[in-house]
Amino acid sequence: MLLRVYTLAILLLFALPSGGWTEEIVLRFSHVVAEGTPKGQGALMLKRLVEARLAGRVRVEIYPNSELFGDDNEIKALLAGEVQIIAPSLSKFSAYTRKFQVFDLPFLFDSLPALDRFQAGPEGRRLLRILETHNILGLAYWHNGLKQLSATRPLRRPEDVKGLKVRIQSSDVLHEIFLTLGAEPHKMAFADVFSALRSGRVDGAENPWSNFYTQRFYEVQRYITETNHGVLDYMIVVNANFWNGLPKDIRAELERIIAIVTTEVNRKAEFLNQRDRQNILTSGCCEVLPLSHDDLARWRQILAPVWKRFEADIGLDLIRAAQTANQAR
């Protein structure tokens, strides 16, 4: 009896009238990019809003540039409760689902609004929850941008890529793309890319402008070809058990904040990429090569068979929905 009274007293001491707890909740948000990128800016905005609207109840600690966890261990760290929010690129979930491979198919999405349409539709929303069996809950998609291709030599036609060692993320679709081009793809963590490009361990890389600029890849690559051959997009994910165990009012407020930040990140992503494209041009370090209409058609044609190879894994329904979203205006 005495024990029960004592336990109740402790509970009352920490419990708030709203059903929350007096102890401050700390959300560690780990990511691999620089703060000037769409994801880096989104993380900072999230921290500002959370700490203004949930002052004293929730604090956000941001760890950018792989300083806490990198590509190799951030999802495991989320599952182990060592970090509470991460936003890996959709290409990095292949150990958990093959469905996200749809986002890596070459030349599937022509623009970020096309990606928005797909993600806002029933298939895109369903994908947010597809990892729940692994205790991973998707809360939102954040954009970076369309990918460009850099190298130590000018790449105009797909044949020019032949023989190059190219860094890719850990995605089998990306691997297949570069094999199809006759290159040697190397899966590598983002944190290692700059030194691999500088030392010549790889000759080229693909990424949107914001990562080329903020990671200084452009300083160690002579050419960037404006291929726009795919998208780099993220999913904000949390540990489902942790998230569902948060006090209800806090979780609801966090969800409202994430919705606001998501709108802002996705509204600004293209602007930030174009700004960094201009920064690279201004630096004069590296040449930006546009593709002619005919060359672009050739890239599309050479890479078209990649879709077929992943159709069974991804599901034709998903690919069709993405195509429909891409064609809608």
CB atoms within 10 A of CB 288: 17
Q: Which two tokens stand for residue 326?
A: 């891409």
Closest distance to ligand LMR from the beta carbon of 4 (Å): 50
**DSSP annotation string for 260-328:** HHHHHHHHHHHHHHHHHHHHHHHHTSSEEEPPPHHHHHHHHHHHHHHHHHHHHHH-HHHHHHHHHHHH-
Q: Toward ligand LMR, which CB reaches closer, 192 or 249?
A: 192
Q: Toward ligand LMR, which CB reaches closer, 181 or 232?
A: 232
Closest distance to ligand LMR from the beta carbon of 148 (Å): 12
Nearest-angstrom CA–CA distance, 255 and 307: 35
Q: Toward ligand LMR, which CB reaches closer, 93 or 253?
A: 93
Residues 239-268 vs ligand LMR: string with x where CB under 6 A? ------------------------------
Q: Which residues between 180 and 209 bind ligand LMR (CB under 6 A)?
A: 190, 207
CA atoms within 13 A on the CB side of 22: 8
Work out the burial of residue 298: count CB atoms within 10 Å of its CB; fewer than 13 is exposed, 13-18 middle, 19 or more buried.
middle
Kindly determine how many residues on this chain lie close enough to bind ligand LMR according to the rule CB under 6 A: 9
Nearest-angstrom CA–CA distance, 288 and 218: 10
Closest distance to ligand LMR from the beta carbon of 113 (Å): 20
By CB under 6 A, tell whether 171 contacts ligand LMR.
no
Q: Toward ligand LMR, which CB reaches closer, 207 or 227?
A: 207
Q: Which residues between 208 and 227 bind ligand LMR (CB under 6 A)?
A: 211
Q: Which residues between 296 and 325 bind ligand LMR (CB under 6 A)?
A: none
Closest distance to ligand LMR from the beta carbon of 308 (Å): 25
By CB under 6 A, tell whether 32 contacts ligand LMR.
yes
Report the interhelical angle of 316-327 vs 112-120 (nearest 10°): 130
Q: Which residues between 78 and 97 bind ligand LMR (CB under 6 A)?
A: 89
Q: Toward ligand LMR, which CB reaches closer, 25 or 115?
A: 115
SS3 (DSSP) at 198: helix
Closest distance to ligand LMR from the beta carbon of 283 (Å): 20
By CB under 6 A, tell whether 33 contacts ligand LMR.
yes
Q: Toward ligand LMR, which CB reaches closer, 32 or 155?
A: 32
Closest distance to ligand LMR from the beta carbon of 72 (Å): 11
Closest distance to ligand LMR from the beta carbon of 279 (Å): 17
Please check whether residue 188 is in contact with residue 196, taking contact to mean a CB–CB distance below 8 angstroms: yes
Q: Toward ligand LMR, which CB reaches closer, 144 or 273?
A: 144
Alpha helices by DSSP H, listed for the chain, are 2-14, 38-53, 74-79, 112-120, 122-128, 172-180, 193-199, 209-214, 240-244, 248-283, 293-314, 316-327
Nearest-angstrom CA–CA distance, 131 and 135: 7
Q: Toward ligand LMR, which CB reaches closer, 64 or 124?
A: 64
Q: Which two tokens stand for residue 289?
A: 């090569």
Nearest-angstrom CA–CA distance, 153 and 318: 36
> How far is CA 325 from its chain centroid?
20
Nearest-angstrom CA–CA distance, 191 and 189: 5
Closest distance to ligand LMR from the beta carbon of 37 (Å): 7
Q: Toward ligand LMR, which CB reaches closer, 51 or 72?
A: 72
In the complex, the residues that contact ligand LMR under the rule CB under 6 A are 32-33, 89, 144, 169, 190, 207, 211, 232
